[in-house]
Amino acid sequence: MDPVTEVEVSRSPAEWLHVIVMNLAVLTELCVSMYLATARPDDFTATFIKCFFGMLAPTLFIGAIVKRRLRPTPTKA
């Protein structure tokens, strides 16, 4: 089974919306982390890594749960 499947908007708008929301969430986390890291130029890298990965891990975990719930149930033949 191929783990990467194409999502058609007409067939599954919820999955399409999930992808858009996840992309926006990660982009927002990146921007917030950069903003917070610029406040401490001496400790930029450490601050960025703590902020970004601290927000990214829960986002990816929640995204995986939502994706699993949106997955269509397989039909038995």
Q: Which helix (H) or strand (E) holds 5?
A: none
From residue 35, how far is each of 4, 14, 31, 58 by CA, in Å? 33, 31, 6, 20
- pLDDT tens-digit readout, 45-76: 999 999 999 999 999 999 999 988 887 766 66
Taking the model in full, what pTM does it have?
Answer: 0.76
Report angle CA 19, 22, 26 to the nearest 5 degrees. 140
- pLDDT tens-digit readout, 16-31: 899 899 999 999 999 9
Q: What are the sequence ranges of the domains in the chain? A: 14-70
The answer to whether 19 touches 64, Cβ cutoff 8 Å, is: no
Nearest to 71 by CA among 24, 26, 5: 5
